[in-house]
Amino acid sequence: MQHEQQPIIVGLDIGTTKIAAIAGRKNEFGKLEIIGFGRANSNGVKHGQVLNIDETIKAISMALENCYASNPGLEINEVYVGIAGHHIKSLQTRGDIVRQQTDDEISQREIDQLISDQYKTYIPAGDQIIDVIPQEFTVDNFQNIPNPIGYGGVKIGANFHIITGDKNAIRNITRAVEKSGLKTKDLVLQPLASAAAVMGTEDLEAGVAIVDIGGGTTDLAVFYEGILKHTAVIPFGGENITNDIKTGLGVLKTQAEQMKVQFGSALANEARSNAFITIPGLRGMPAKEISVKNLANIIQARMSEIMDFVTYHLKQVGLDSRMLNGGIVLTGGGSQLKHLIQLTEYVTGLNCRIGFPTEHLAAGHIEELARPTYSTCIGLILKGYSDYEHHRKQFENQFRKISIPENLRQTELVEEEVMDDEEMQAEKVRNRKGIKDFWGKFKDGIIELFKEEEDHAL
């Protein structure tokens, strides 16, 4: 299939501090080409939850306008929307069905039936099921089957991870999206979208915890042996750190945010004790001197608390440092704090790295798109492609050909030195000579060694 025949899928990340809309399409190599990108500051969202619908609509409209400005040829009607917030809960269930046609192999239709039955699971009033994720399947007496299609048997069952959310919170998100002139194609839990963007199959098998540090919440998804084991939403994020700085140092919120980004560190020991930040005084008041060490102490206290929550959740599901060989992958805007990797490793006892969504992106995109801030958005597009490739949802049959706009391409090309044939030949000779020299030295060393042994023997 040619890449211009692939659908254009749009991810909409409605966050506490920013709203981002990214339009992407897969190329012939299966990598995402970004053909539209827009973002706007978010005002109507608190702790990942839409509270002020009007303000959220304005922010979504602004992000869409910026997306259209980046590529005027785009037409956006449907979007995949990320959902988070501390109203998100998860539970484990078990489901089984006895097959009607036992002579035939297990088909996708029977798996779909098993999954749709789980939507009838009893959940507390006021909640709604967002997603049902199968973990491991069983066929008759055979257990831990990752994909039972093609197996033969009488009874098929599975363990499920069910994600639920507050009905009103979900209704607020869908209303804000619809009133912005868009249709919600699907709601996707943000840590699952981020996980899709920053991880490969090796990470999932090794055992890994995704920690997506957003503005209002920190989202957690834990995978082990390729299976989603646990999801959680921790009700603290980057905005809590900003508010702590604002209160603790007596500065404005904008100043607190600027200090956190420019001078912030998650480890107080790494901050210089003799460094100070000068904040201009308000309306003739004297300027303030703020210690970088004090700033780091405030950030470390809040980040340690977030990581303690992560450790608590890992213990709850019985996955400790011995089992998660892939360690912790930090992503989201808050993951860009200096020395956060060291603090995370110290608090959790697990190896840690920053997750960038570059693995699934085509080459030549602007650097901005590869930041951890946009992991969720890139993951939402990948979720859309998963639905398209597995025929889970209806997509348009005709796809318009839209090229990547220049403003989303990387303009800086690395200048390569062009060698003529003679120089190339000389370079090859030099390289060969280097190998010869190495083996020559190695051989001389061996000869010297034997000489020494002979001298000792005499």
Of 118, 160, 121, give the one whose Cα is nearest residue 137: 160
Separation CA 119–CA 415 (nearest Å): 57
Strand, coil or helix: what is 91? strand
- Print the SS3 string covering 24-75: EEECCCCCEEEEEEEEEECCCEECCEECCHHHHHHHHHHHHHHHHHHCCCCC
Of 354, 357, 382, give the one whose Cα is nearest residue 369: 357
Domains of the chain, residue spans: 88-166, 200-355
Separation CA 200–CA 334 (nearest Å): 22
| Residue 2, pLDDT score | 45
Question: What is the per-residue pLDDT across 31-42, written as a single tens digit (0 to 9) for each?
Answer: 899 999 999 999
E strand or H helix that includes residue 37? strand 32-41
- For residues 172 and 115, is the Cβ–Cβ distance under 8 A? no
Separation CA 355–CA 371 (nearest Å): 9
Please state, rounded to an integer, the average pLDDT across all residues of the chain. Answer: 85
Q: What is the pTM of this model?
A: 0.84
Neighbours of 247 (CB within 10 A): 12
Beta strands in 261-305 (DSSP E): 276-279, 288-291
Is 88-166 assigned to CATH 3.30.1490.110? yes
Interacting residues of 57 by C-beta distance below 8 A, sequence separation 6+: 44, 176, 179, 180
Is 200-355 assigned to CATH 3.30.420.40? yes
β-pairing verdict for 45-46 and 49-50: antiparallel
The answer, yes or no, to whether residue 3 has pLDDT greater than 50, is: no
The answer, yes or no, to whether residue 420 has pLDDT greater than 60, is: no
384-401 mean pLDDT = 78
pLDDT tier for residue 185 given thresholds of 50, 70 and 90: very high
Interacting residues of 245 by C-beta distance below 8 A, sequence separation 6+: 251, 256, 259, 260, 295, 298, 299
| Residue 399, pLDDT score | 63
pLDDT tier for residue 18 given thresholds of 50, 70 and 90: very high
Question: What is the per-residue pLDDT across 248-282, written as a single tens digit (0 to 9) for each?
Answer: 998 899 999 999 999 999 999 988 888 899 888 77
pLDDT tier for residue 228 given thresholds of 50, 70 and 90: very high
